[in-house]
A and B are shown apart, each in its own frame.
Chain A
Amino acid sequence: MSIARIEKRFADLTQAGRAGFAPYIVAGDPDAETAWRMLEALPAAGADLIELGLPFSDPMADGAAVQKGAVRALAAGMTTAGVLDLARRFRDGDAMTPLVLMGYYNPILAFGLAAFAEAAAAAGVDGLIMVDLPPEESAPLQAALAAADIALIRLAAPTIDEGRLKAIAAGASGFVYLIAVTGVTGGKEADPAAAAPLVARVRAACSLPVVVGFGIRTSERAAEVARIADAAVVGSALVEEITDAIALKRDPAPKVLARVAAMAQAVREARI
Chain B
Amino acid sequence: MPLVLALERAWNEAWADPDFHAELDGRLASYVGRPSPLYFAARLSEHHRARVWLKREELNHTGSHKINNCMGQILLARRMGKERIIAETGAGQHGVATATACALFGLPCVVYMGAVDVARQAPNVQRMRLLGAEVRPVSSGSATLKDAMNEAMRDWVANVEDTYYLIGSVAGPHPYPVMVRDLQSVIGREARAQIVDAEGRLPDALAACVGGGSNAMGLFHPFLNDDGVRLFGVEAAGEGMATGRHAAALNGGRPGVLHGSHSYLLQDADGQVTEAHSISAGLDYPGIGPEHAFLKDAGRARYLTATDEEALAAFALLARLEGILPALESAHALARLDAIASEVGPDGIIVLNLSGRGDKDLDQVAERLRLIP
**Measuring CB to CB, which residues of chain A are less than 8 angstroms from any residue of chain B?**
56-61, 63-64, 67, 71, 74, 79-80, 105-111, 132-134, 136-137, 157, 159-161, 164, 181-184, 187-188
Closest 5 CB pairs of A and B: A110-B271, A183-B158, A107-B271, A57-B272, A159-B2
**Cβ contact within 8 Å between B154 and A74:** no
CB neighbours of B154 from chain A (8 A): 60-61, 63, 183-184, 187
The listed residue with most A CB atoms (<10 A of its CB), out of B3, B141, B269, B270, is B270
User: Which of A58, A79, A132, A184 meets B141, CB within 8 Å?
Assistant: A58
Which DSSP category, helix, strand, loop or mixed, fits chain B's interface? Answer: mixed
CB neighbours of B3 from chain A (8 A): 159
Give residues of chain B (213-266) contacting chain A, Cβ–Cβ below 8 Å: 255-260, 262, 265
Q: Could you tell me the distance in whole angstroms from the C-beta of A265 to the nearest C-beta in chain B?
A: 31
**Cβ contact within 8 Å between B271 and A132:** no
Q: Could you tell me the distance in whole angstroms from the C-beta of A166 to the nearest C-beta in chain B?
A: 13
Known contacts A60-B153, A61-B154, A181-B158; 12 additional CB pairs below 8 A are A57-B274, A58-B147, A58-B258, A106-B267, A106-B273, A107-B270, A109-B271, A110-B256, A111-B270, A164-B5, A187-B154, A188-B158
In the complex, which residue of chain A has the Cβ closest to the Cβ of B269?
A: A110
**Measuring CB to CB, which residues of chain B are less than 8 angstroms from any residue of chain A?**
1-3, 5, 140-141, 146-147, 150, 153-154, 157-161, 255-260, 262, 265, 267, 269-274
**Cβ contact within 8 Å between B1 and A157:** yes
CB neighbours of A107 from chain B (8 A): 270-272
User: Which of B5, B160, B273 meets A58, CB within 8 Å?
Assistant: B273
- Cα–Cα, bound, A108→B257 (Å): 10
CB neighbours of A187 from chain B (8 A): 154, 158
**Cβ contact within 8 Å between A56 and B272:** yes
- Cα–Cα, bound, A107→B147 (Å): 18
CB neighbours of B256 from chain A (8 A): 106, 109-110
- Cα–Cα, bound, A139→B221 (Å): 31
In the complex, which residue of chain B has the Cβ closest to the Cβ of A168?
A: B1
Q: Could you tell me the distance in whole angstroms from the C-beta of B178 to the nearest C-beta in chain A?
A: 15
CB neighbours of B2 from chain A (8 A): 157, 159-161, 164
**Cβ contact within 8 Å between A134 and B1:** yes
User: Which of A106, A164, A184 meets B258, CB within 8 Å?
Assistant: A106
CB neighbours of A136 from chain B (8 A): 1
**Cβ contact within 8 Å between A109 and B257:** yes
User: Which of B1, B257, B273 meets A57, CB within 8 Å?
Assistant: B273
**Cβ contact within 8 Å between A60 and B150:** yes
22 intermolecular pairs with C-beta atoms under 8 Å apart: A58-B147, A58-B150, A58-B259, A60-B153, A60-B259, A61-B154, A105-B257, A106-B258, A107-B271, A109-B256, A109-B257, A110-B269, A132-B260, A133-B257, A159-B2, A160-B2, A164-B5, A182-B160, A183-B154, A183-B157, A184-B157, A187-B154
**Cβ contact within 8 Å between A80 and B270:** yes
In the complex, which residue of chain A has the Cβ closest to the Cβ of B154?
A: A184
In the complex, which residue of chain B has the Cβ closest to the Cβ of A79?
A: B270
In the complex, which residue of chain A has the Cβ closest to the Cβ of B262?
A: A137
Q: Could you tell me the distance in whole angstroms from the C-beta of A17 to the nearest C-beta in chain B?
A: 34
User: Which of B146, B159, B265 meets A106, CB within 8 Å?
Assistant: B265
Q: Could you tell me the distance in whole angstroms from the C-beta of B42 to the nearest C-beta in chain A?
A: 46
CB neighbours of B140 from chain A (8 A): 64, 67, 71
